[in-house]
């Protein structure tokens, strides 16, 4: 099917921050003016206001604004006292920060291969990776779809392990549990870690992140460790870091958070359009939504035959696209001391060779999506 209006489109970006900010620019500038006039640039009142709103949104007791999604992960690990000699189980098919944070606190990332369709950690393989040194499981809710949390929580409980949800791509994703309740990302594990990097579903104007938890002790610890472990000021019982979110970023996020639900709905609608328009192409596999609940499509990721050639064809047609991720983490040079080799996690290795993400952002027009679809159809002669 060819969209009639598609001919007027000549390019589609992977993400269009211009389109996202245009309707809210006046509100953003007003928020900026407020911060500028109050001059509480560090831990100003907007931080607490955001943390309250974010806790309601995440359906957790507490949240804390932090300096990035990466630092959210580091802070969670530090608050759990995870370090040298400890192991944390995670996915090799994710953004580097997931395993990088484990390594940075001195612990060892232990990889478990992924489900071939959801790209999330295969919970049925976790138990075999547990050793006496295992302290935590760090599932990643990749591309906006939550991992198999019922299974992961059951394993964690049986082995007395922490669960840190890398929810950097999944603020607002939902999981319908076997217990009949629906949980938001970051509310099932001990700590949820979020990113406000501009390409995430809720982006700020630079780096920013958030941790969520229902555990008052972990909350206290993260709260103190966020400011160098200082409590009261200049007295340090533990070593923390500077993991603060800027007041300015919190002020912007307070403007943007109320818009997030509509943006999720738009992304889900866009995904439905692609699902319909691309369904008959035998050479691609559409994103599989297998987790009961709500997938929020931080990315719309295809499994594509001749992926590299499709990548090139999309580039030539000026259709924004990206390969998330081109190298599985167990084969990254910096982790060579873990001793992994090609073949250790075959499903992740297959996926790095055949995945490709196409534009899914909420402001996409029908015509733009038509152009993306036409370009893909042309490539496959479909």
Residues binding ligand PLP (CB under 6 A)? 68-70, 94-95, 97-98, 140, 166, 168-169, 195, 197, 207, 209
Least distance (Å) from ligand PLP to the CB of residue 197? 4
Shortest gap between Cβ of 69 and ligand PLP (angstroms)?
A: 2
Question: What values do phi and psi take at 194, rounded to 5?
Answer: -125, 155
| Helix, coil or strand: residue 81 | coil
Rounded Cα–Cα distance for residues 24 and 205 (Å): 13
Query: Closer to ligand PLP at the Cβ: 104 or 305?
Result: 104
CB of 72 vs ligand PLP, minimal distance in Å: 7
> Strand locations in 201-328, DSSP E?
209-213, 284-285, 293-294, 300-304
Our CB check for ligand PLP shows the closer of 69 and 287 to be: 69
Closer to ligand PLP by CB, 94 or 187: give it: 94
Residue 91 in contact with residue 120, Cβ under 8 Å?
Answer: yes
CB of 253 to ligand PLP, least distance (A): 13
Contact 372, 378 (CB under 8 A): no
Q: Cα separation of 114 and 365, whole Å? A: 33
d(CA 84, CA 275): 46
Spatial strand order in the sheet of 108-111:
62-66, 209-213, 191-195, 162-166, 134-138, 87-90, 108-111
CB distance 212 to 240 below 8 Å: no
CB of 264 to ligand PLP, least distance (A): 17
H/E element, 163: strand 162-166
Q: Please report how close the Cβ of residue 267 comes to ligand PLP at its closest, in angstroms.
A: 16
Q: Are 208 and 196 in contact (CB under 8 A)?
A: yes
Torsions phi, psi for 237 (to 5 deg) = -90, -25
DSSP string, 253-274: HHHHGGGHHHHHHHHHHHHHHH
Q: How far is the CB of 291 from ligand PLP (least distance, A)?
A: 16
Instruction: Report the run of H or E that residue 191 belongs to, with start and end.
Output: strand 191-195
Shortest reach from residue 100's CB to ligand PLP, in Å: 8
Peptide bond into 105 cis (omega under 30): no
Closer to ligand PLP by Cβ: residue 78 or 373: 78
Strands 174-176 and 87-90, by their bridges, are unpaired
Least distance between ligand PLP and beta carbon 166 (Å):
5
């Amino acid at each position: 099917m060819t969209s009639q209006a598609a001919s007027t489109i000549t390019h589609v970006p992977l993400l269009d921050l211009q389109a996202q900010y245009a309707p809210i620019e006046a509100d953003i500038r007003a928020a900026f003016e407020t911060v500028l006039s109050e001059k509480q640039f560090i831990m100003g009142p907007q931080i607490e206001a955001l943390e309250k709103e974010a806790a309601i949104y995440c359906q957790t007791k507490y949240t804390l604004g932090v300096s990035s999604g990466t630092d959210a992960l580091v802070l969670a690990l530090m608050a759990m006292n995870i370090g040298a000699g400890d192991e944390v189980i995670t996915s090799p098919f994710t953004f580097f920060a997931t395993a990088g944070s484990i390594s940075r606190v001195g612990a060892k990332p232990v990889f478990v291969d992924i489900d071939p369709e959801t790209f999330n950690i295969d919970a049925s393989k976790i138990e075999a990776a547990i050793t006496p040194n295992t302290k935590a499981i760090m599932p990643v809710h990749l591309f906006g779809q939550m991992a198999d949390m019922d299974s992961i929580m059951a394993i964690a409980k049986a082995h007395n392990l922490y669960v840190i949800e890398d929810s950097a791509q999944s603020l607002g994703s939902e999981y319908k549990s076997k217990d009949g309740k629906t949980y938001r990302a970051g509310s099932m594990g001990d700590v949820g870690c979020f990113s406000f990097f501009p390409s995430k579903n809720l982006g700020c104007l630079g780096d920013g992140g958030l941790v969520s938890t229902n555990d008052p002790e972990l909350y206290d610890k993260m709260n103190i460790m966020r400011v160098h472990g200082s409590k009261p000021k200049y007295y340090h019982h533990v070593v923390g870091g500077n993991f603060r979110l800027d007041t300015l970023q919190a002020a912007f996020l307070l403007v943007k958070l109320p818009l997030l639900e509509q943006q999720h709905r738009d992304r889900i609608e866009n995904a439905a359009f692609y699902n319909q328009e691309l369904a008959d192409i035998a050479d691609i596999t559409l994103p599989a939504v297998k987790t009961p609940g709500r997938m929020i499509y931080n990315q719309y990721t295809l499994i594509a035959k001749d992926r590299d050639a499709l990548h090139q064809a999309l580039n030539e047609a000026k259709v924004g696209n990206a390969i998330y991720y081109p190298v599985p983490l167990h084969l990254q040079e910096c982790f060579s001391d873990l001793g992994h080799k090609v073949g250790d996690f075959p499903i992740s290795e297959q996926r790095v060779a055949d995945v490709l993400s196409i534009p899914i952002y909420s402001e996409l027009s029908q015509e733009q999506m038509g152009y993306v679809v036409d370009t893909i159809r042309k490539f496959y002669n479909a």
